[in-house]
Amino acid sequence: MKKILTVAMACCFAMTGCIALAACDNKTKSDPAHTIVFYSSQGDNLTGTTDIAIETFEAKYPGWTVTHNTQGGYEDVLSKVRSDLTAGTQPDLAYCYADHVAQYLASGTVVDMSEYLLNDQPFTYTYTADGAEQTKTVDRIGFTQEDIDTFVTGYFEEGYAENFADYASYGYEAKSLLTLPFVKSTEVLYYNPDALKELNETVPTTWDKLWAICDKARAKWPTCTPLGYDSEANWFITMGQQLGYEYTSADESNHYLFNNDGAAAWLNSIKAQYDKGNFTTQQIYGSYTSSLFTKGPEDAGCIFCIGSTGGAKNQAGTNFTTEVSAIPGSGEGKNQCISQGPSLVMFSTDAANDSEKQIMTFQFVKELLATEFQAKFSRVSGYAPMRTDVYANADFQLFRDGKASDGSPLTGTDLIISKCVKAGVGGEFNARLFVSPAFVGSSTARQQMTSVVQYVLLGQKEAAAALQDAYKACGGK
């Protein structure tokens, strides 16, 4: 693909001074050759915003359309893409996590976007409108260096092939760009400020302080469960970063490192807190713990909830105003928190105009990553924008300060999303974020950690046994 595209670009440039891309007549959404298929896990509250980028793209590039197919959750996108890859009907663009892409690499269809990233060549394509052939010339295929300089470095560098185990065997180089970040989320501490005031406490910045507040909360409200944590796997992985015990590695010879004494010690420590009634988790509770948090401690709810910034709209308290802070740390600067949220992966297809489709798909990626659109999407979703110049956007600055575009105060879920964006993205906070190695089997390890935490908390397995069983389930000896 790389050789074909390079030759085609060179020949067209020599003849016309730009890349000439041919497009057929009367292109509609029913014309697969000129329709970009995009898979995501967006809900109804987000697809309307993405429609803005689609409409902008289609207006800018007549003759091309985008079909946006939502697949449910992230794992549903993974399942659908894997099925489509088997059938040779993969989309042109999809939401992804790194461990998903690790499973796609063997197909040979994941596009190295470094081919396009800073490509400054213009290109021309033809289309038919009102019965006449028209041409469209675009200044450049890729971003400018000024654009790239605004990308959040940590988010951007997650997409390099060197972060994926065994990348060279699939034909990629260390700096091949397998994904680009779309938007990012992290976990934050949602808290009930009224409850903390009644306890004469402030927001905890360490786990020891949080557990002490939980003890006081149960003494005051015996039926409350002070803390809800929405992801057992995230908790295990995050604490490995904060406490220094190992989780996984990109090293092909030994991916699974979590079967260790440090992990067992942490599991035993939270088992003691669970037995006191200080917390519950999503899987044990049977639902997102935001439904407990919003009730308040007087009604057998929580006073803290640790969940994703992407779920901010679900955290509005019934009788209190929800506040947001960073999750606690283990002390002495050990306050890492997990980086989540969708990236974008491009696929080659068996379309006769595959090289053309890839260039046009990348133009749609540019619309999704445009500063103005990133600002809009962040305001609606609570996800962090992937470029720093969004923070200079006037509407976004107002939003972070709890105000609408007209300067009026935000209320309800809009206000909580604003607080999440302010507390969980940008500035020094980005230095706290981390990602885990991606390889075939990394998603299995994550699933196993969910089970390990549950087994230990419910007393079904001792910590060491649960970790050993998970290690075997991942293929360890």
Cα–Cα dist 456/477, whole Å = 21
DSSP helix/strand/coil, 279: strand
DSSP helix/strand/coil, 383: coil
Phi then psi dihedrals of residue 330, to 5 deg = -90, 0
Please tell me which residue, 389 or 24, carries the higher pLDDT value.
389
Cα–Cα dist 116/138, whole Å = 14
- For the chain, the structural domain boundaries read 2-182+341-385, 185-340+407-473
Torsion of CA 243, 475, 106, 186, to 10 degrees: -30
Q: DSSP secondary structure string, 92-112?
A: SEEEE-HHHHHHHGGGT-B--
Please answer whether residues 31 and 62 qualify as being in contact, where contact means their C-beta atoms are separated by less than 8 angstroms. Answer: no
At 281-292, the pLDDT tens digits run: 999 999 999 999
**Which of 129-143, 260-274, 415-429, 453-467 shows the lowest per-residue confidence on average (mean pLDDT)?**
415-429
Helix (H) / strand (E) element for 228: namely: strand 227-229
Read off the pLDDT of each residue in 298-313 and give the average, rounded to a whole number. 94
pLDDT reading at 428 higher than 80: no
User: Which residues fall within 8 angstroms of residue 131, CB to CB, at 6 or more apart?
Assistant: none
Cα distances from 288 to residues 43, 78, 292, 312, 326, in angstroms, run 17, 22, 8, 12, 19
Q: Which residues pair with 185 in a beta bridge?
A: 340
CATH superfamily to which 2-182+341-385 belongs: Periplasmic binding protein-like II (3.40.190.10)
pLDDT reading at 24 higher than 60: no
Please answer whether residues 459 and 364 qualify as being in contact, where contact means their C-beta atoms are separated by less than 8 angstroms. Answer: no
Please answer whether residues 75 and 38 qualify as being in contact, where contact means their C-beta atoms are separated by less than 8 angstroms. Answer: no
**pLDDT for res 382:** 85
Torsion of CA 8, 12, 18, 20, to 10 degrees: -80
Cα–Cα dist 9/44, whole Å = 39
Closest residue by Cα to residue 311 from 383, 237, 402: 383
Please answer whether residues 202 and 327 qualify as being in contact, where contact means their C-beta atoms are separated by less than 8 angstroms. Answer: no
| 431 confidence band (pLDDT: 50, 70, 90) | confident
Q: DSSP secondary structure string, 418-460?
A: HHHHHHHSSGGGGGGEE---B-TTHHHHHHHHHHHHHHHHTTS
DSSP helix/strand/coil, 462: coil
| 420 confidence band (pLDDT: 50, 70, 90) | confident
Cα–Cα dist 458/376, whole Å = 43
Cα–Cα dist 327/194, whole Å = 19
Q: 2-182+341-385 with 185-340+407-473: one CATH topology? A: yes
**Which of 8-17, 186-195, 328-337, 374-383 shows the lowest per-residue confidence on average (mean pLDDT)?**
8-17
Read off the pLDDT of each residue in 406-414 and give the average, rounded to a whole number. 92
What are the structure tokens assigned to 465, written together?
A: 């046994």
User: Which residues fall within 8 angstroms of residue 391, CB to CB, at 6 or more apart?
Assistant: 385, 397, 400, 426
Place of tokens 């990626």: 365
What are the structure tokens assigned to 92, written together?
A: 């042109």
**pLDDT for res 25:** 40
Phi then psi dihedrals of residue 138, to 5 deg = -115, 140
Give the count of beta carbons closer than 10 Å to the beta carbon of residue 123. 23
Helix (H) / strand (E) element for 314: namely: none
Please answer whether residues 90 and 81 qualify as being in contact, where contact means their C-beta atoms are separated by less than 8 angstroms. Answer: yes
At 337-389, the pLDDT tens digits run: 998 899 999 999 999 999 999 999 999 999 999 999 999 999 998 888 999 89
How large is the greatest C-alpha to C-alpha distance in the chain, in angstroms?
Answer: 80
Closest residue by Cα to residue 386 from 401, 400, 365, 363: 365
CATH of domain 185-340+407-473: 3.40.190.10
Phi then psi dihedrals of residue 200, to 5 deg = 60, 45
Q: DSSP secondary structure string, 150-204?
A: HB-HHHHHTTBGGGBTTGGGGT--TT-B--EE-EEEEEEEEE-HHHHHHTT----
DSSP helix/strand/coil, 38: strand
pLDDT reading at 6 higher than 80: no
The angle that helices 442-457 and 463-473 make with each other, rounded to 10 degrees, is: 160
Cα–Cα dist 268/74, whole Å = 31
**pLDDT for res 409:** 95
**pLDDT for res 16:** 40
pLDDT reading at 19 higher than 70: no
Q: What is the DSSP letter of 301?
A: -
